[in-house]
Amino acid sequence: MNEIRIFVPATIANISCGFDVLGLCLDSVGDEMIIKKTIKKGITISKVIGQELPLDPNKNVAGVAANALLKNLTVDFGFDIVIIKNIKPGSGIGSSAASSAGAVFGINEILGKPFSLKELIPFAMEGEKLASGSAHADNVAPAILGGFTLIRSYEPLEVIKIHTPKELYATIIHPQIEIKTIDSRSVVKKEVPLQTAVKQLGNLGGLISGLYTEDYNLIGNSLHDEIAEPYRSILIPEFENIKKECIKNGALGSGISGSGPSIFALCRGKENAEKVSRGMKQVYNKTAIAFDIHVSKINERGIKILETK
Ligand code: ADP
């Protein structure tokens, strides 16, 4: 194989009660990447279409992740990467994670899969380190593995793929405002009272159990975040109204996607997810805030190969 074209999905990290440990993979929102073998060794990024992002492989997460992988192998050729960016950077649905994950996935395929999907995660995390200063896996893991993922431990890294209920959909609204990841991290308290931790643990256990047993009521009852949402939501205009509207329209639950500003809702079935999206739109239509909105099935496969040459 000399060339691969792939679909690299957007992802939702945290999912309310899974602060810093849970993530899920979306299906209808994502970038495309084209990766080609080159005679020249090393990584080049020849084009980014759709967004202003650096072409310097040391400043683009795709280049950093790709180089992290190549450090572990001896290859006497290189790779060129083209990124077709549909996921806006800083939206909170894993824009940088998609590029980090896509770069390592594509190169691994061209090389005949020397690494398993799970083994690719630490390389993709190096890209995340460039984007946000910390090598977190809660977006790259679901992008690479698909479905829901749980980071059971960082040291050593252990990622578990969780069962996806068949009728589950996500609705995501992205208000076009800028929240710096550093700001949304800094508002979250470093210490958590025992009572708060107990509530969060109960909900996290409930959500995982609900996902495995496809118990939609239990999933809904568990979608609460006691740790980040009370503080982060203040940075997102109309957050409480959006959340109320989602629940009124029958969503199982709603919360902040990653560190925001996107807000997600989980829904049972596509029809309900569309209804929830109309409710979300109504709230922002009353304001001057521009927004994007997406309805997506949960993507159990993760990155998809579109073409190989
Ligand atoms: P998101 O949660 O949407 O990924 P982040 O704040 O984590 O947003 O990452 C976006 C940051 O990463 C921006 O500063 C952006 O310039 C930088 N970046 C570097 N390369 C890329 C890339 N290929 N795709 C997206 N963002 C990138």
**Is 132 found in the same domain as 243?**
no
Query: Both tokens of residue 288?
Result: 């001057």
Report CA(275)–ligand 1 centroid distance (Å).
Answer: 31
**Is 260 found in the same domain as 137?**
no
**Is 180 found in the same domain as 106?**
no
**Is 19 found in the same domain as 147?**
yes
**Is 304 found in the same domain as 286?**
no
Q: Average of pLDDT values for 207-236?
A: 97
**Is 131 found in the same domain as 76?**
yes
Report whether residue 81 contacts ligand 1, using a CB cutoff of 6 Å.
no
User: If you take atom 27 of ligand 1, which residue's CA is the nearest one?
Assistant: 96
pLDDT at 179: 84
From 96, 136, 177, the mutation candidate for ligand 1 (largest count of ligand atoms within 8 A of CB) is 96
**Is 227 found in the same domain as 103?**
no
Q: What is the pLDDT of residues 77-128, one digit of tens each?
A: 999 999 999 999 999 999 999 999 999 999 999 999 999 999 999 999 999 9
pLDDT at 160 over 80: yes
pLDDT at 69: 98
**Is 121 found in the same domain as 20?**
yes
pLDDT at 181: 75
pLDDT at 198 over 80: yes
pLDDT at 183: 82
Number of domains comprising the chain? 2
Residue range of the domain that includes 174? 168-297
Report whether residue 62 contacts ligand 1, using a CB cutoff of 6 Å.
yes
| pLDDT band, very low/low/confident/very high, at 182 (cuts 50, 70, 90) | confident
> Which CATH number fits the domain that encloses residue 229?
3.30.70.890
Report CA(209)–ligand 1 centroid distance (Å).
Answer: 33
Q: Average of pLDDT values for 172-196?
A: 90
Q: Average of pLDDT values for 248-275?
A: 97
Q: Other C-beta atoms within 10 Å of 287: how many?
A: 12
pLDDT at 185: 82
Mean pLDDT of the chain: 97
**Is 152 found in the same domain as 183?**
no
Distance CA 304, CA 21 (A): 24
User: If you take atom 2 of ligand 1, which residue's CA is the nearest one?
Assistant: 92
**Is 151 found in the same domain as 286?**
no
**Is 304 found in the same domain as 263?**
no
Report whether residue 90 contacts ligand 1, using a CB cutoff of 6 Å.
yes
Q: Average of pLDDT values for 269-297?
A: 97
Q: Other C-beta atoms within 10 Å of 221: how many?
A: 16
Q: Average of pLDDT values for 285-307?
A: 97
**Is 290 found in the same domain as 304?**
no
> Which CATH number fits the domain that encloses residue 137?
3.30.230.10
pLDDT at 22: 98
CB 126 within 8 A of CB 137: no
Q: What is the pLDDT of residues 8-62, one digit of tens each?
A: 999 999 999 999 999 999 999 999 999 999 999 999 999 999 999 999 999 999 9
